[in-house]
Chains A and B, each alone.
Chain A
Amino acid sequence: MNVLELKNVSYMYDDGNEYVLKDISFAFEKGKVYAIKGRSGSGKTTLLSLISGLEKYKIGNIIYQGKELNAINLDYYRSHSIGIVFQSFNLLPHLTALENVVLSMEINHIKENKKEKAIQLLEEVGIDQTKANRRVLKLSGGEQQRVAIARSLSYNPDIIIADEPTGNLDHETENDIMEIFTELAHKQNKCVIIVTHSKNVASQADIVFELKKSSKRK
């Protein structure tokens, strides 16, 4: 069953003069890893922004679990239904790894055993308790990305969206991170959508979409 579906979505920035995305149609299911490939400027990050509710689409439809995405509360959607992992991690630097994950739970109004659940999630992605109590800036890039993944899982969303999650990481760490994503999809039945231009990442995905540069605005 499709958890998320794009139907003929086109997008152009307010200050732009050409479509960044034109007539895009995808369908995403739970339990699979999707890779969205494309050259720079092909609209990968824009597509991710629309899927994650960071931008509102104007043409076409994005359907989440049968509901039009623009019609639902996007703050709630972002904090409950999807987990976002960025290339630059986007963690709060003044907090520890554990506090970053706990804060995400608190925003989602999770009240019980937050700390225990956060520690467990961090351990699942390879962050032990000692590192969990360190400020994120004292962790390596790979460790920060693991914290970002743990944070995205903290409220048990249906969809994990990752924007170049391994872009700043070495090959070995890239494989480790991909292993986590694959397990999330196959063992925890999550829909994992990864925007990447890495062939290695794309090769480990179940389904690969490729974006091509759209045409000029009429």
Chain B
Amino acid sequence: MYIIKNAWLSLIRNKGRNLLIGIIILVLSIATCITLAIRSSADQLVNSYNSKYDIEATLGMNRDNMMKDFTPGEKPTEDEQSEQEKPQMPEIESLTVSEIEKYGDSEYVKNYYYTYRFNMNANIEKLSSSNSDDKRMDKKADDMNSGDFVVMGYDSYESMSDFISGKYTISDGEVSSDFTSDSCIISSELASSNDLKVGDTITLISPNNEELTYDLKITGIYKENEEDSDSMGQMFSDSANMIITNKTVSEVIRTLDEDISMILSPTFILTSEDVVDSFSEELANKGLSEYYQVQTNLETINSETASIQNVAHFAGVFLIITLIIGGVVLFVLNMINVRERKYEIGVLRTIGMTKLSVSCQFVVELLIVTFISITLGIGIGSVLSVPTANYLLENEIESSQQAQTQVQQNFGGPQGEEANRPMGRDGGRMNGVMSLDKVTSMNAVVDIKVILQLFGIGLLLTVISSLSAIVSIARFSPLTILRERS
């Protein structure tokens, strides 16, 4: 107890010396507090951002494995090349609904959906490119009896990722929320060239059998927004001949025409980014062809938060540099301090105070200064860090609100105040975008975690910088000190 009392007396009666150390620790505390608060805030923002997007896994081609099984053709002879001599890629079987359901039944999957893609003819004129190469391609497609129009079948808003991303937006009407109705949406170019409007009906015709037809009512007209779709020599957008309908329509058509070729593209919503590898392994164990591979949107999500993570990284580097410089300065100051107080150490040792007790007194003195400085530093740091973190937070909230409104508008949904109304299945989540938990409070910026970290760092710095004092005290001979003084 007397050690603490003596340390306190020494502190308050040597104000100049301790004030200098206190100011240095105060500056360090403020810098550290702001840095920790920014890091904490940045982490919250990153988590908030990540929560906006689900981890989506799709099944894409594994080109490496395909190339391994690639059969190169023999060198052509002067005679006509036989079929066996042509280079051949391995045959890949399309996924079935039962396979997708099997893959979706996983502890790593929160939800899954799939889309149909197939070709049909229709009772309307398709849009042809002016490019001669494209015409040849169209001719070839006609010869293959594949159909003039690409038909996409979705089962929910969630599955319509091109509308969520903003590639397509509704310009008239809407995407029907009834995903079992005989409805469709068509491109504005197709509607314009065939003089079609919302409420009209088009008839899909099987490319295999003209007797097999299916009527769909147009509920919406969409347009493609991506600028790069207008490539050289191409009059129309990529989606000009695409008719978008729902899963039920697709399944009925497949029932009617068993010969029709349909591609199923599944999307699995994973529980977290940590399970991607496990999920891939599970699919392989469940029999997924080696020509498929799991692809995710992780890279896209990470690129969204890259700037915030950069801020956190910068804050981390700044923190380390601050602590190193601060630690060195404190260490040197303590060395000078101890040299100045050699006489005091000598007296204390002469009157019987042990080395340990003298060391304790010096550490207690530094701890008291550190505690007071850190407490002040937390106060000042929290005041300064609030506007900084608020600035980051406001930008983030603004951008997320814009994204939310944009997605609703893409579906022809309400605008303005109404735009904040949840949309999607069960009136709620749609790829996480609608259910974003906004961080609106700054209370968490300098929270108990930051305070504890700060005191932990302060304690560590105190111990490190006290080492010089402890070593000197252990080394000094009281007689030598007193003799030098005499």
Q: Please indicate the chain B residues that have their CB under 8 angstroms from the CB of A106 in the complex.
A: 2, 5-6
Contact A94 B13 (CB under 8 A): yes
Q: Mark A66-99, 1 if CB is under 8 A from B, else 0.
A: 0000000001101110001011101110110001
Contact A92 B347 (CB under 8 A): yes
Contact A95 B9 (CB under 8 A): yes
Contact B351 A87 (CB under 8 A): no
Q: Mark B167-207, 1 if CB is under 8 A from A, else 0.
A: 00000000000000000000000000000000000000000
Given A55-B479, A99-B9, A94:B351 Cβ within 8 A: no
Of B9, B14, B357, B482, chain A has the most CB atoms within 10 Å of the CB of B482
Given A54-B479, A107-B351, A107-B352, A90:B10 Cβ within 8 A: no
Contact A76 B352 (CB under 8 A): yes
Q: Please indicate the chain B residues that have their CB under 8 angstroms from the CB of A91 in the complex.
A: 347
Q: Which residue of B lies closest to A82 (CB)?
A: B352
Contact B479 A94 (CB under 8 A): no
A167 CB to closest chain B CB (Å) equals 10
Q: Please indicate the chain A residues that have their CB under 8 angstroms from the CB of B357 in the complex.
A: 107
B351 CB to closest chain A CB (Å) equals 5
Contact B352 A151 (CB under 8 A): no
Contact B482 A78 (CB under 8 A): no
B361 CB to closest chain A CB (Å) equals 11
Q: Which residue of B lies closest to A48 (CB)?
A: B479
B1 CB to closest chain A CB (Å) equals 8
Determine whether B344 belongs to the interface, using a CB cutoff of 8 Å to chain A.
yes
Determine whether A2 belongs to the interface, using a CB cutoff of 8 Å to chain B.
no
Given A75-B354, A79-B351, A92:B479 Cβ within 8 A: no
Give Cα A45 to B479, complex, Å: 10
B398 CB to closest chain A CB (Å) equals 58
Determine whether A104 belongs to the interface, using a CB cutoff of 8 Å to chain B.
yes
Q: Mark B464-483, 1 if CB is under 8 A from A, else 0.
A: 00000000000001110011
Give Cα A49 to B357, complex, Å: 22
Determine whether A108 belongs to the interface, using a CB cutoff of 8 Å to chain B.
yes
Contact B353 A79 (CB under 8 A): yes
Given A99-B9, A106-B2, A88:B354 Cβ within 8 A: no
A136 CB to closest chain B CB (Å) equals 11
Q: Which residue of A lies closest to B479 (CB)?
A: A54
Determine whether B75 belongs to the interface, using a CB cutoff of 8 Å to chain A.
no
Given A54-B479, A86-B482, A107:B350 Cβ within 8 A: no
A158 CB to closest chain B CB (Å) equals 14
Given A76-B352, A94-B13, A107-B2, A88:B344 Cβ within 8 A: no
Determine whether B441 belongs to the interface, using a CB cutoff of 8 Å to chain A.
no
Determine whether A103 belongs to the interface, using a CB cutoff of 8 Å to chain B.
yes
Determine whether B485 belongs to the interface, using a CB cutoff of 8 Å to chain A.
yes
Determine whether B153 belongs to the interface, using a CB cutoff of 8 Å to chain A.
no
Q: Please indicate the chain B residues that have their CB under 8 angstroms from the CB of A108 in the complex.
A: 352
Give Cα A80 to B479, complex, Å: 18
Contact B352 A88 (CB under 8 A): no
Give Cα A78 to B10, complex, Å: 23
The residue from A45, A84, A103 contacting B6, defined by CB atoms under 8 A apart: A103
A153 CB to closest chain B CB (Å) equals 12
Q: Please indicate the chain B residues that have their CB under 8 angstroms from the CB of A75 in the complex.
A: 352-354
A126 CB to closest chain B CB (Å) equals 21
Of A55, A78, A88, A107, chain B has the most CB atoms within 10 Å of the CB of A107
Contact A88 B14 (CB under 8 A): no
Q: Which residue of B lies closest to A95 (CB)?
A: B9
Given A86-B482, A95-B9, A107-B2, A80:B347 Cβ within 8 A: no
Contact B482 A107 (CB under 8 A): no
Give Cα A80 to B351, complex, Å: 9
The residue from A76, A78, A87, A99 contacting B486, defined by CB atoms under 8 A apart: A87
Contact A90 B13 (CB under 8 A): no
Determine whether B346 belongs to the interface, using a CB cutoff of 8 Å to chain A.
yes
Of A86, A92, A95, A104, chain B has the most CB atoms within 10 Å of the CB of A92
Q: Which residue of B lies closest to A154 (CB)?
A: B351
The residue from B9, B353, B483, B485 contacting A107, defined by CB atoms under 8 A apart: B353
Contact A151 B9 (CB under 8 A): no
Q: Please indicate the chain B residues that have their CB under 8 angstroms from the CB of A86 in the complex.
A: 350, 482, 486
Contact B486 A88 (CB under 8 A): yes
Give Cα A75 to B356, complex, Å: 11
Q: Which residue of A lies closest to B357 (CB)?
A: A107
B473 CB to closest chain A CB (Å) equals 13
The residue from B2, B344, B477 contacting A92, defined by CB atoms under 8 A apart: B344
Q: Please indicate the chain B residues that have their CB under 8 angstroms from the CB of A54 in the complex.
A: 350, 477-479
A160-202 residues with Cβ-Cβ distance < 8 A to B are none
Give Cα A76 to B477, complex, Å: 16
A142 CB to closest chain B CB (Å) equals 18
Contact B486 A94 (CB under 8 A): no
Give Cα A45 to B484, complex, Å: 13
Give Cα A84 to B351, complex, Å: 8
Of B5, B346, B347, chain A has the most CB atoms within 10 Å of the CB of B347
B54 CB to closest chain A CB (Å) equals 66
The residue from B6, B9, B14, B347 contacting A90, defined by CB atoms under 8 A apart: B347
Contact B351 A78 (CB under 8 A): yes
Q: Which residue of A lies closest to B14 (CB)?
A: A94
Give Cα A108 to B351, complex, Å: 9
Q: Please indicate the chain A residues that have their CB under 8 angstroms from the CB of B343 in the complex.
A: 90
B1-31 residues with Cβ-Cβ distance < 8 A to A are 2, 5-6, 9-10, 13-14
B352 CB to closest chain A CB (Å) equals 2
Give Cα A104 to B479, complex, Å: 18
Q: Please indicate the chain B residues that have their CB under 8 angstroms from the CB of A76 in the complex.
A: 352
Q: Mark B350-367, 1 if CB is under 8 A from A, else 0.
A: 111110010000000000
Give Cα A91 to B9, complex, Å: 15
- In the assembled complex, 8 residue pairs joining A and B whose CB atoms fall closer than 8 Å, in A order, are A75-B352, A78-B350, A79-B352, A84-B351, A92-B347, A99-B9, A107-B352, A151-B351
Contacts A80-B352, A104-B351 known; 18 new A-B pairs at CB < 8 A: A54-B478, A75-B353, A79-B351, A86-B482, A88-B485, A90-B343, A90-B350, A90-B482, A90-B485, A91-B347, A92-B348, A94-B10, A103-B2, A103-B6, A106-B2, A106-B5, A106-B6, A107-B353
Closest 8 CB pairs of A and B: A79-B352, A106-B2, A94-B13, A54-B479, A78-B352, A90-B347, A75-B354, A107-B352
